[in-house]
Amino acid sequence: MLPVGATAPEFALPDATTGRLVRSADLLALGPLILTFFRGRWDPYCSTEQEVWRDLLPRVREAGALLVALSPQTVRQSDFMAQQHGIGYPLLQDANCAVAAQFGIAYTVSQAMQQYYRSILVNLPFINSGKNVMAPPDSSVWHLPLPATFVLDRNGTVRFAEAHADFRVRPEPEDVLAALP
């Protein structure tokens, strides 16, 4: 995982609601940035976390910061999520977890977990790319990010970094907000 003090990689990803390309450099020019990586709207822990950030967005803005969420799910899935949960900040598509990999938090879903997800009707190949559920096990659609949160200062330096292999564990929002420069 990208540690505190490291320089975050730059990225440009599509926004689910506007379709526009969102560049991290443009966001950082406006102020500090909170990045939250989530697995997808199919995960109730991720949805709940995004709802918490939705409710805290006024505090983020009062601190002069911006907030974006990144997920491998398709733009359409993120658009559904934004509408369903009233998300007012950008939900960006990190296809194949390319940016998550640069932050050191991407992983390939094991074959056992792929079978489990199929058994509970979580169709990651479709959710993440529109592909069929029978996508080969080594396909890039079976990549997910660890749920993670980073705070970047205006220079792109990581001021807070937290990720957990246990998808149920998320950072305390107060700790994240306290890390804003």
Catalytic member of 16, 35, 46, 152: 46
Q: Is 115 exposed, middle or buried (0-12, 13-18, 19+ CB in 10 A)?
A: exposed
Q: First vs last Cα of the chain: how many Å apart?
A: 21
Residue showing tokens 């306290």: 178
Strands of 91-93's sheet in order across: 91-93, 66-71, 33-37, 148-152, 158-163
Residue showing tokens 């792929």: 114
Catalytic residue list contains 97: no
Please give the full DSSP string across 19-47, using - where no structure is assigned. --EEEHHHHHHHS-EEEEE---TT-HHHH
Residues labelled as active-site residues? 46
